[in-house]
Amino acid sequence: MHDVIIVGAGHNSLVAGIFLARAGMKVAIYEHAATPGGAVATEEVTLPGFRHDLFSAGHVRFAGSPAYAALGPELEARGLRYLVQEPSFGTLLDARRGAWISSNLDETLAQFGRHSAADARAWAAQYALFRRAIPFLGRLFSMPQPSFATARTLWQAWRTLGRREFMEIGKSFFATAHEWSARHFESEALRALFVPWPCHGDMAPDDAGGALPCLLAGGLGQTRGQLVPEGGSGRLAEALAKLYTDLGGELHCAQPVTRILRRNGRAQGVEVDGRDIEARRAVIASTHPGLTARLLGDATGPAALPAIGTMVIHLALEGPIAWHAGEHYQRAGYLHLNADTDTLRLAYANALSGRMPEAPLVVWGQPSAVDATRAPAGRHTAWLMVRAMPMRGIDWDAQKEATADRVIAGLERYGPIRQRVLARTVCSPLDLIRRNPSLGGVVPLPLHASLVRSLPPRLRYTTPTRGLYQIGAGTFPGPGLSGTSGMLLAQRLLR
CB 416 within 8 A of CB 338: no
Tell me: do 329 and 294 sit in the same domain. no
- Do 287 and 351 belong together in one domain? no
Secondary structure E strands in 273-331: 275-285, 308-317
Mean pLDDT, rounded, for 463-475: 92
160 lies in a domain?
Answer: yes
Q: Which domain holds residue 275?
A: 2-39+60-82+232-303+439-494
Mean pLDDT of 349-368: 95
Residue 11 and residue 64 in one domain: yes
The verdict on 407 and 449 lying in the same domain is no
Cβ atoms 220, 60 nearer than 8 A: yes
What 8-state DSSP symbol labels residue 305?
P
Nearest partner of 355 among 409, 403, 321, judged by Cα:
403
Residue 98 domain flag: no
Judged against a pLDDT cut of 90, whether residue 443 lies above it is answered with no
CATH label of the domain that carries residue 407: 3.30.519
* Structure letter (DSSP) for residue 301: S
Number of neighbouring beta carbons within 10 Å of residue 121:
14
Residue 268: pLDDT band (50, 70, 90) is: very high
What SS3 class is residue 316?
Answer: strand
Under 8 Å between Cβ of 460 and 1: no
Task: Give domain status of residue 444, yes or no.
Answer: yes
> Pick from 392, 412, 436: which residue ends a domain?
436
Which residue, 436, 456, 473, sits at the end of a domain? 436
121 and 207 part of one domain: yes
**Is the pLDDT assigned to residue 451 strictly greater than 80?**
no
CA distance 332 to 96: 16
Under a CB-based contact definition with an 8 Å cutoff, are residues 407 and 384 in contact? yes
Select from 436, 457, 481 the last residue of a domain: 436
Average pLDDT taken over every residue of the chain: 93
Q: What's the pLDDT tens digit per position in 48-104? A: 999 999 999 989 999 999 999 999 999 999 999 999 999 999 999 998 899 999 999
Please give the full DSSP string across 251-283, using - where no structure is assigned.
EE-S--EEEEEEETTEEEEEEETTEEEEEEEEE
Is residue 333 domain-shared with residue 294, that is, in the same domain? Answer: no
Do residues 214 and 155 share a domain?
Answer: yes
pLDDT in tens, 387-427: 989 988 899 999 999 999 999 999 999 999 999 999 999 99
Considering the domain architecture, whether residues 298 and 444 belong to the same structural domain is answered as: yes
pLDDT of residue 322: 95
Asked whether residue 389 is assigned to any structural domain, the reply reads yes
pLDDT digits (tens, 9 = 90+) for 115-139: 999 999 999 999 999 999 999 999 9
The answer to whether residues 20 and 27 touch, using CB atoms and an 8 Å cutoff, is yes
Q: Residue 269 in contact with residue 5, Cβ under 8 Å?
A: yes
Asked if 10 and 130 sit in the same domain, the reply is no
Does residue 214 form part of some domain? Answer: yes
Give me the pLDDT at residue 448, please.
47
Asked whether residue 441 carries a pLDDT value surpassing 60, the answer given is no
| pLDDT for position 302 | 47
Which residues sit opposite 416 in a β-bridge? none
Residue 91 Cα to chain centre, angstroms? 19
User: Which CATH number does the domain housing residue 449 bear?
Assistant: 3.50.50.60
**Total tally of structural domains belonging to the chain:** 3
Look at residue 436 in the predicted model and tell me its pLDDT: 87
* 205 and 294 housed in the same domain: no
pLDDT at 324 over 70: yes
CA 210 to chain CA centroid, nearest Å: 15
- Judgement on whether residues 249 and 329 belong to the same structural domain of the protein: no
The answer to whether residues 250 and 180 belong to one domain is: no
Whether 91 is covered by a domain: the verdict is: no
- pLDDT of 395: 94
Q: State phi, psi for 83 to the nearest 5 degrees.
A: -105, 150
pTM of the predicted model, to two decimals? 0.94
Query: H helices of 353-395, where?
Result: none
Share of the chain above pLDDT 70, in %: 95
The number of beta carbons lying within 10 Å of the beta carbon of residue 148 is 8
> Is the pLDDT reported for residue 446 higher than 80?
no
Whether 51 is covered by a domain: the verdict is no
Distances (CA, A) of 390 to 347, 355, 394, 395, 441: 10, 6, 7, 10, 15
Give the pLDDT confidence score for residue 145 in this predicted structure. 83
Is 377 inside a domain boundary?
yes
Whether 442 shows a pLDDT value over 80: the answer reads no
